[in-house]
Amino acid sequence: MNRTRTAAALASSALFAAGLTTLAPTASATPTAGVAPTAATAALTATPHRVLFDNSKGETAGNADWIISTAQPDPLAQNASPTTEKSWTGALSAWGVALQKTGQYSLKTLPAGSTISYGTGAALDLAKFDTFVVPEPNIRFSAAEKAALIRFVQNGGGLFLISDHTQSDRNNDGWDSPAIINDLFTDNGVDDDDPFGISVDVKNISTDNPRAVADAADPVLHGPFGTVTGSILRSGTTFTLEPADNPNVKGLVYRTGYSGTTGAFFATSTYGSGRVAVWGDSSPADDGTGQPGNNLFNGWNDPAGTNAALALNATAWLSKA
């Protein structure tokens, strides 16, 4: 993610200062006044969709602040009734607050120093969640963690991976997010043959406004949080799609001038009974707020893209909401 924006881009972002944390899905779990709740709404309220955001892989290294709250694992410990992105501290707080305000999601964070696990019974084990969001990892997954991630998806989980551009190694350990994600896809010990049909391009694309494909039936492009028309790319990368490896892979948003299997900026896939989404830049999820000392920009509300709708619809789809 590029920390240098043009004055024009920053000015256009300011036009959306009202934010999209007020967005909510069209179907609410809260019954209308005077109408008795149905069994379906009662069940929805009783069993929220469980989303775990990762902070175990250096997501706050360097100038990054890719967390929904500094209160971890439970963001409600910071503010139990958040209203805006400033209710929680983190550059992804708008994402978390938007989900929280629907009443249909239960959110947690896997804190720094934790281990990603599946099927161990640990309090934050992936088996206890519907979706796992990994926003620009800067620490390589261990062999056990890679196997856990693939098995999580294989058995019905939703995995949301956000990459950044090549040479974006924020903690100087020799691994950046494209290398870490490609390593997951090709050396996981469960299925090393490109299980999702996706590889991260080793590129640093300075700027673009990728556009969504025309697909009225796609639940990510046309989901409960609105219609997606495009996104923003501010020093990020793209993906190459390999339908021969996984015929379910699908490009949804493409870099200008690209289509088909190359230049995909946002893509989805399925594997086993689970789902995967990948995004080629951390800029669109950045809401411009966060911990002091970080130089952040409001990509979440940038009018050049519909980034909030894209992140939230994808979360809903991954969670099978």
Tell me the C-alpha distance between 204 and 201, whole Å: 9
Domains and CATH numbers, the chain: 51-318 (3.40.50.880)
Tell me the C-alpha distance between 260 and 277, whole Å: 17
Q: What are phi and psi of 149, to 5 degrees?
A: -65, -45
Per-residue confidence (pLDDT) for residue 46, from 0 to 100: 55
Per-residue confidence (pLDDT) for residue 293, from 0 to 100: 86
129-165 in b/e form (b: 16+ CB < 10 A) is: bbbbbbbbbbbbbeeebbbbbbbbbbeebbbbbbbbb
pLDDT tens for residues 270-312?
999 999 999 999 999 999 999 988 889 999 999 999 999 999 9
114-127 in b/e form (b: 16+ CB < 10 A) is: bebbbeeeeebbbb
Task: State the pairing for strand pair 49-54/131-135.
Answer: parallel
Per-residue confidence (pLDDT) for residue 235, from 0 to 100: 94
Tell me the C-alpha distance between 85 and 288, whole Å: 9
Per-residue confidence (pLDDT) for residue 306, from 0 to 100: 98
The residues near 160 (Cβ < 8 Å, ≥ 6 apart) are 131, 132, 133, 134, 276, 277, 278, 279, 314, 315, 318
Tell me the C-alpha distance between 159 and 311, whole Å: 13
Per-residue confidence (pLDDT) for residue 232, from 0 to 100: 98
Element (H, E) at 42: helix 39-46
Residues of the chain with pLDDT under 50: 1-45
Per-residue confidence (pLDDT) for residue 295, from 0 to 100: 83
ω before 224 within 30° of 0 (cis)? no
Query: How many separate helices (H) and strands (E) can be counted in the chain?
Result: 6, 14
> What angle do helix axes 143-154 and 177-186 make, rounded to 10 degrees?
70
State the Cα angle at 95 between 88 and 211, rounded to 5°: 150
Per-residue confidence (pLDDT) for residue 9, from 0 to 100: 38
What's the helix, strand, coil split of the chain in %, to 5? 20, 20, 60
Helix (H, G, I), strand (E, B) or coil at 275: strand
Tell me the C-alpha distance between 288 and 140, whole Å: 26
